[in-house]
Amino acid sequence: MSATVTERAGGGARGVVGTRMLRREDPALLSGEAQFVHDLSVPGALHLSVVRSPHAHARVLEVDLSAARECPGVVAAFSGRDLLGEWAAPMPCAWPVTADMQTPTHYPVALDEACYVGDAVAVVLAESAAQAQDAAASVSVSYEVLPAAVDLADAASDRVLAHDASETNRAYIWELAPDAAAVERAFAEAAVTVSERYVQQRLIPAAMEPRGVCVVPQPFGGDFTVYSSTQIPHILRTMLGITAGVPEGRLRVVAPSVGGGFGSKLNVYAEELLCLALARRMRRPVRWTEERSEAAQATIQGRGQIQQIELAADAEGHVQAVRVHLVADMGAYLQLVTPGIPILGAFLYHGVYDVPAYSFTCTGVFTNKTPTDAYRGAGRPEATYAIERAMDALARRIGVDPAEVRRRNFIAKDKFPYASSGGLLFDSGDYDAALAGALELADYEGLRAEQAQRRAQGSAKLLGIGLSSYVEMCGLAPSRVLASLNYAAGGWEAATVRMLPTGKVQVVSGSSPHGQGHETSWSMIVADKLGVSPEDVDVLHSDTAVSPFGLDTYGSRSLSVGGTAIAMAADRVVDKARLLAAHRLEVAPEDLDLEAGTFSVRGTPSRAVALGELAFAAFTAHDLPDGMEPNLEAQATYDPENFTFPFGTHVAVVEIDSDTGRVDLVRYVAVDDCGNQVNPLIVEGQVHGGIAQGVAQAMWEEAAYDEAGNILTTSFADYLVPAASELPSFTLGHTVTPSPSNPLGVKGIGEAGTIASTPAVVNAVVDALAHLGVHSMEMPVTPERVWRAVDAARRTPTGGTS
Amino acid sequence: MIPAKFEYRRAGSVDEAIGWLREDPDDAKLLAGGHSLLPLMKLRLATPGVLVDVGRIDGLSYVRDAGDHVAIGALTRHRDLETSEVARAHAPLLARVAAQIGDPQVRHRGTIGGSLAHGDPASDLPAAALAYGATFVAQGPNGTRQIPADEFFLGFLETALQPDEMLTEIRVPKSGGASAFQKFNRRAQDWAIVGVAAVLDGTPRVALVNMGPTPVRARAVEEALASGASAVDAAAHAADGLEPPSDVHASSEYRRHLATVLVRRALEEASAARG
Ligand SMILES: Cc1cc2nc3c(=O)[nH]c(=O)nc-3n(C[C@H](O)[C@H](O)[C@H](O)COP(=O)(O)OP(=O)(O)OC[C@H]3O[C@@H](n4cnc5c(N)ncnc54)[C@H](O)[C@@H]3O)c2cc1C
């Protein structure tokens, strides 16, 4: 069985790729020396404070700024109307998923109508952050409170409209039904059907560093440097230019150290636009740092869906069709990629299973709540959750073990590349091996035996075992596919590799890390290509002046797309160096071997020249072959031909206190396959964090709103992000099935843990309770929910329904 | 996260602190560990004009064997209570409760005086003080007075302390080991959704965390026990006469249920400890 913790996976014979190199990023982060936006010292900066609507839906009748303007330190205060002239366009949504999508006009500061608690209605600029906040408290806004569309199902009925002037809350209906008739037929002929409804609660991304922006006007010429805690400096630059009407070339966007994003910093936010427009207007630097409670309102939220999934199967549980209807909560406005998030999952609701007929429909619906957008996994965790819970429901229905039902339906190993009924080409996979590995690591047989024993003894500690087999599509994204989905940009990535005269190497990356360890991984890839030490490779990124082209970091794309670009650029440097070496050694290029950074003549190894010497020669340019340009530098832009499809199986084991409903996650096993691993230590780190975040959705986290649309979970005392104390030690295993989609053979791993773990945990909870007649369970699985479910089942001795 | 403007004064003695409180009874607040007050100030839910820092007054951080009782200085940090040999020997419930407050950072800053004076029904030490039948010593402009724990917690975040009084000492009658604390929360560092402190030395005393607007005794349980009821039967009365809150963590109904489970467990644990 190949599912063991791999010390070396997919590395070259002697290289560093595949080794557990420590992350070079960590010393600065751990010692506190890393500089985040808030740490930047910018003399003369004005501090922005945003006055936010306390109502979920209200007409803004009057904004009285007179008292605020009199406050100490205040330099200016503006309403939405005052700033209207600053905008060349409303805030951007880059993903109009349908031609007729409804897009409410969205300005950084609302004009006449506030559409969620937290919608900006005025801004104050003062000499200090404290003065700005004091003054913000004296801005007086009169509102006419309007009915609010808060509950998603209710909003979908159009009973209350989220935008006063609109006729419906529907943003769009998006359909994927390659063969609708086949789906109908499968359901008509099915021996067994399963129909389940699940709710994906809203989540607060809760990055360790809240957002922050600082915009510094440069002397003369109208240039601005924008420091932002963002995942997307390149996309942000373009969008800021379009929205604020600044020629793009005048903007330099820098993302200094960024303390996590999880998708929430893959966006263009009001405060980024405000700092830019106000710096332009005031001719002074303007800065803003988000507060934790403010983030609960002002930063996008994740998930927010009602899912209806139906399976049609034969009597043995072979699934013949999957039909899905989603209602997706957009929130009050469409942020950068809001409408596309559910669509990123649209192709995956049949999961790892060989399902011949498939249809999917999503209705995007506006509510008077904070906009939703990308959050770790973005669409794919929701899809995996629905299919994996439904497969357990199917297993219960036909009375077979959940592992067995999965085995019966897996896409077989020999079917790859696999053309899915949703229209994708799954690159490579061996789902059985991952399941087998996970079951073995978990001692599945032993767990089932213990469970049976506890049930026989009537133990108050209920044991539940949950499985989740997943596949995801990542490595966003082939530009042509994005075009077919009507996304406004491409999905390529750019890289430059240059050797400096001293033989040191600089790598410039267009992807923009915020905790993933790009610098370490990129240095390893280049070190192996060039035969140098990783310490001699510097990695530059996250500054549009340094890396003019890039499409940034999200969707587990950095390694499979950005890393590939880097490998390609390194290969080009080697190619050029080889020509130079051949010239100097007076042999044909094909007769040279490159090893450990030295070209030597095949058969005569004493005739050799080191890459470092070649770099210096290329720099002096005294003796280059005719036509060769000086310097060893190469640029590459890689546009993937396909997504990559990581997969695996996770096993969660829970223990439930039947008196209180308390759920303890006691064991967790994950076997993931992300193809070749550049650095298994980083892979494990991503899996650990991903699991924690997915388990958090299952058990703790929910952005809770009251009926009036006030968010209730605005601090970490109420929004429960788990800590190490809540989680068991994870048991990790891996299989390695290289991806044929890229030359590195890699797949993404940044989101896999989050995608797989949520259904594993909820399946385990239902598994623990199923014998009592409990089959449905909503997230988060709070002790109260479990207690109520058990209590209700006890009151109906015949057992509950599913 | 930026508090409203306030004036900061550091008191060198209890008298100095009380003097400043007296000057500004409506607007001045004592600052001890700051772990209840500062979060409220940062959210601007509390906006005192004057902050009187008593955190560095000497001689108010101690846990002493005072004969028939244990005397605890109001500025004793949770961590010092948790690790005090005197507390472990003679008021073990307090040491155990202190060990479960928040996380290590909170326990190294928060003080017992602050926890009691804040009067938060969700806090743990007040319930332990009630279960022990502790007495609080308060100092004001006219000297000191003693307030029984049962008369101290008056309403939500409201205590018997006058605006110009400072809590200086907590006196806990010595007790053996027959006590238990049950805290139910969803993450290790959280406040209790419901908590139960039970002391079975002598007359049984049971107090509850987060089961109403104040820390509160489970009188119905105590009465049932006094008339010989079993732990299970007595625990069934845990929520009698109480109206626990509903919030994002739990409904009132669930808290009532939890109270019965946790009281039973606390009683069983305490009597097991009695041996
Ligand atoms: C993250 C976090 C988690 C926590 N978890 C828990 C928990 O699980 N259980 C729990 O019980 N508590 C918890 N707490 C609260 C913590 O125990 C506080 O330290 C304690 O409640 C207050 O003590 P303090 O010394 O910090 O008081 P301060 O915040 O300084 O003061 C609190 C109030 O008491 C007044 N005051 C302070 N000292 C005196 C005095 N000597 N005389 C008169 N008035 C005084 C102040 O004026 C103020 O009104 C938590 C706090 C945090 C921040």
Helix, strand and coil content of chain B, in percent to the nearest 5, comes to 35, 25, 40
Q: Does domain A492-638 have CATH number 3.40.50.1100?
A: no
CB A646 within 8 A of CB A471: yes
Percent share of chain B, pLDDT over 90: 96
Of A798 and B180, which is predicted with more confidence? Answer: B180
The number of CA neighbours under 13 Å toward the Cβ of A321 is 26
Query: What mean pLDDT is predicted for residues A41-69?
Result: 98
Minimal CA separation from B187 to chain A, in Å: 6
Asked if residue B1 belongs to a domain, the reply is no
Indicate yes or no: CB of A717 within 8 angstroms of CB of B190: yes
Q: Is residue B178 part of a domain?
A: no
Cα-to-centroid distance, B111 and ligand 1 (Å): 6
**A713 and B190: CB-CB below 8 Å?**
no
Q: Which residue, B116, B139, B172, sits at the end of a domain?
A: B172
Tell me the pairing of strands A418-419 and A425-426. antiparallel
User: Cβ distance A748 to A474 under 8 Å?
Assistant: yes
Question: Hey, which residues 168-227 in chain B have their CB within 8 Å of chain A?
Answer: 184, 186-191
Q: Are residues B150 and B199 in the same domain?
A: no
User: Which residue puts its alpha carbon closest to atom 4 of ligand 1?
Assistant: B102
Domain shared by B76 and B165, yes or no: yes
Q: What is the pLDDT of residue A221?
A: 85
The answer to whether residues B121 and B86 belong to one domain is yes
**Integer Cα distance of B22 and B59 in angstroms:** 22
C-beta separation of A293 from B43 below 8 A: yes
Helices within A157-269 (DSSP H only): 180-189, 233-244
| Six-digit token string for A785 | 């929910």
φ/ψ region of A206 (left if φ > 0, alpha if ψ in -120 to 50, else beta) reads left
Helix spans in B91-244 (H):
92-98, 104-109, 112-118, 125-132, 219-226, 231-235
pLDDT digits (tens, 9 = 90+) for A57-115: 999 999 999 999 999 999 999 999 999 999 999 999 999 999 999 999 999 999 999 99
Whole-number Å distance between alpha carbons of A82 and A64: 12
* CATH number for the domain that contains residue B208: 3.30.390.50
Distance CA A516, CA A498 (A): 23
- A406-444 pLDDT per residue, tens: 999 999 999 999 999 999 999 999 999 999 999 999 999
On chain A, the residues whose CB falls within 8 A of the CB of B254 are: 783-784, 787-788
Contact A564, A745 (CB under 8 A): no
* CA B69–ligand 1 middle distance (angstroms): 24
Query: Is the CB of B167 within 6 Å of ligand 1?
Result: yes
Q: Tell me whether the omega of the peptide bond preceding residue A393 falls within 30 degrees of 0, making it cis.
A: no
Matching residue, tokens 């989905």: A485
* Structural contact between residues B73 and B169, judged by C-beta atoms closer than 8 angstroms: yes
In a domain, B182, yes or no: no
Residue B237 lies in a domain: yes
Q: CB A784 to CB B188 under 8 A?
A: no
From residue A6, alpha-carbon distances to A11, A429, A433, A657, A732 in Å are: 11, 18, 15, 36, 10
Is position B183 within any domain?
A: no
A724 C-alpha to center of ligand 1: Å?
25
The phi and psi torsions of A102 (rounded to 5 degrees) equal -85, 125
Identify the residue among A71, A660, A786 best suited for mutation to test binding to B, counting B beta carbons within 10 A and taking the highest: A660
Q: Decide whether A302-476+642-800 matches A492-638 in CATH topology.
A: yes
At A145, is the secondary structure helix, strand, or coil? strand
In whole angstroms, give the CA distance from residue A700 to residue B11: 42
Tokens representing residue A49 in the block: 């404070």
Q: Which stretches of chain B score pLDDT less than 70?
A: 275
The H or E element spanning position A198 is: strand A192-203
Looking up tokens 């034969």, which residue turns up? A314
Task: Quick: pLDDT tens for A368-405.
Answer: 999 999 999 999 999 999 999 999 999 999 999 999 99
Domain check: are B199 and B100 in the same one? no
Which CATH number applies to A38-146+210-258+265-298: 3.40.50.11540, 3.90.1170.50, 3.50.50.60, 3.20.20.100?
3.90.1170.50
Atom 23 of ligand 1, residue of closest alpha carbon: B114
**CB distance A718–B248 less than 8 Å?**
yes
Q: Does B232 lie at the interface with A, CB-CB under 8 angstroms?
A: no
Q: Where are the domains of chain A?
A: 38-146+210-258+265-298, 302-476+642-800, 492-638
If asked whether residues B164 and B70 sit together in one domain, one would say yes
Tens-digit pLDDT profile for residues A334-368: 999 999 999 999 999 999 999 999 999 999 999 99
Q: How far is A294 from chain B (nearest CA, A)?
A: 9
Domain contains B179? no
Residue B161 domain-assigned (yes or no):
yes
Cβ of B161 closer than 6 Å to ligand 1, yes or no, is yes
Tokens 């001045």: give the residue. B28
- Model pTM score: 0.96
Instruction: Please name the residue ranges forming H helices in chain B.
Output: 14-23, 37-42, 78-83, 85-90, 92-98, 104-109, 112-118, 125-132, 219-226, 231-235, 252-274
Locate all alpha helices (DSSP H) within B99-229, ordered by sequence: 104-109, 112-118, 125-132, 219-226
Q: Which amino acid is at B170?
A: I
Q: Which domain holds residue B109?
A: 63-172
Q: What is the CATH number assigned to the segment(s) A302-476+642-800?
A: 3.30.365.10
Instruction: Summarize pLDDT for A491-543 with one digit per residue, the tens.
Output: 999 999 999 999 999 999 999 999 999 999 999 999 999 999 999 999 999 99
For residues B166 and A12, which has the higher predicted lDDT (pLDDT)?
B166
Q: State the average pLDDT for chain A.
A: 96
The residue to which tokens 């206190």 are assigned = A657
Q: Are residues B168 and B68 in the same domain?
A: yes
Tens of pLDDT along B12-50?
999 999 999 999 989 999 999 999 999 999 999 999 999
Closest C-alpha among A437, A333, A465, A354 to residue A649: A437
- C-alpha A281/C-alpha A125 separation (Å) is 12
Q: Look at chain B and report how many structural domains it folds into.
A: 3
User: Parallel, antiparallel, or unpaired for β A286-289 and A212-217?
Assistant: antiparallel
Q: Which of B21, B35, B96, B97 has most ligand 1 atoms within 8 Å of its beta carbon, as the pocket-test mutant?
A: B35
What is the reported pLDDT for A797?
65
Is B26 contained in some domain?
yes
Give φ, ψ of B50 to 5 degrees: -130, 130
Does one domain contain both B102 and B30? no
Over range A745-771, report the average pLDDT.
97
- The kind and range of the H/E element at A592 are strand A592-595
Q: Is B45 on the interface with A (CB under 8 A)?
A: no
- Specify whether the CB–CB gap between A687 and A732 falls below 8 A: yes
Instruction: Indicate the DSSP class of residue A558.
Output: I
On whether both B102 and B24 belong to a single domain, the answer is no
Q: Tell me, what's the pLDDT at B202?
A: 87
Co-location of B88 and B40 in the same domain:
no
Q: Is B2 on the interface with A (CB under 8 A)?
A: yes
Per-residue pLDDT at A114: 98
Ligand 1 atom closest to the CA of B74, numbered from 1:
41
Size of interface A-B (CB pairs under 8 A): 53
Round to whole Å and give the CA distance between A700 and A725.
Answer: 13
Helix (H) or strand (E) holding A302: strand A302-313
Give me the pLDDT at residue A5, please: 35
Same domain flag for B94 and B160: yes
- A494 in helix, strand or coil? strand
